[in-house]
Amino acid sequence: MSIAREGLESSDHILSAGDSHFFAGGVHQEAMARLEHLVEGGSRCGIVVGPRGTGKSTVLNVFAQDCRAIGCETVAIDVTGRDGVEFLERLSQRLGVTSRARGRASALWTEVSDALAGRERAGQHCVLVIDHLDRATRDCQQLVRRLSTRGSGRNTETWILALSGRSFPMVPREWRECSDLRVELAPLSPLESHSFLQSMLIAAGRPNAFEGAWEHLVAAGRGIPAELRRIGELSLLVADGPQSRLSEEALATILSELRGLRFSA
């Protein structure tokens, strides 16, 4: 299996996940390569961690799209706030099971286990991406752990478990112990932050809007893609018009707003 992405060899690259504009720095490209290695090597489980706003969910979405593009069955579920029954119901649906369990956890477990066992017997690889695992209820987390660690002799399943970053760099021991690989994202470098903001300007058709303000904007973003995106959007709104540029007063207003609106997801 190969999930190579044309163009990822360069240090600057835009990943597209749905309608989201996402700049892939070196650390994000490395994360994609390591996830590819995890799947190609037949490893059972990997965890994805990193500070808030560093692009974990977007990287996972892009990776899932790439897996599907080459014909690998890929199930991606965001389990934020979900309990065990809700998780099993969603997983059952994504695996194409015609369920008759009607909210019964034990029956849903059997259906999901049988569906995955059938893929194992057929030698059909399946990638299961679970995002924001630490934001699920405890019983949901326990079910994910049971499924991802249960016996599977043919290495036909790869589980990718992502934590939200709320408690980064701390990772619960139960997830460290069950994983074969840890993929850790980090903020962008100042040069990458500059390139990210510049890519937004080019996409908006206003490549010169931030002249004279680059140093302040890059520093305010702290290398966090989510914050850099917010900075870019606010700055483009303030510097209204294709030829407009940020004034010192407008820049001060934006930076003041950002101090009170730090990314918290």
pLDDT digits (tens, 9 = 90+) for 161-205: 999 988 898 999 999 988 999 999 999 999 999 999 999 888 888
Please check whether residue 130 is in contact with residue 178, taking contact to mean a CB–CB distance below 8 angstroms: no
Instruction: Please choose, from the candidates 205, 260, 201, 202, the residue with its C-alpha nearest in 3D space to the C-alpha of residue 235.
Output: 201
Please give the mean pLDDT across all residues of the chain.
86
Ranges assigned E (strand) in 126-251: 126-131, 157-162, 181-184
Question: Is the pLDDT reported for residue 110 higher than 50?
Answer: yes
- Report how far residue 52's alpha carbon sits from residue 55's, in angstroms, rounded to the nearest whole number: 8
Please check whether residue 127 is in contact with residue 39, taking contact to mean a CB–CB distance below 8 angstroms: yes
Instruction: Please choose, from the candidates 225, 199, 213, 200, the residue with its C-alpha nearest in 3D space to the C-alpha of residue 255.
Output: 213
Distance between start and end Cα atoms, the chain: 33
Q: Lowest-confidence range among 6-15, 46-55, 99-108?
A: 6-15
Residue 252's pLDDT is 80
Residue 19's pLDDT is 44
pLDDT tens digits for range 50-74: 999 999 999 999 999 999 999 999 9
The H or E element that residue 93 is part of is helix 84-94
* CA-based torsion, 105, 108, 112, 118: positive or negative: positive
pLDDT band at 243 (very low <50, low <70, confident <90, very high): low
Question: Is the pLDDT reported for residue 262 higher than 60?
Answer: no
pLDDT band at 242 (very low <50, low <70, confident <90, very high): low
Percent of the residues in the chain that have a pLDDT greater than 70, as a whole number? 86
Cβ density class 130-146: b for 16+ within 10 Å, e for less: bbbbbbbbeebbebbbe
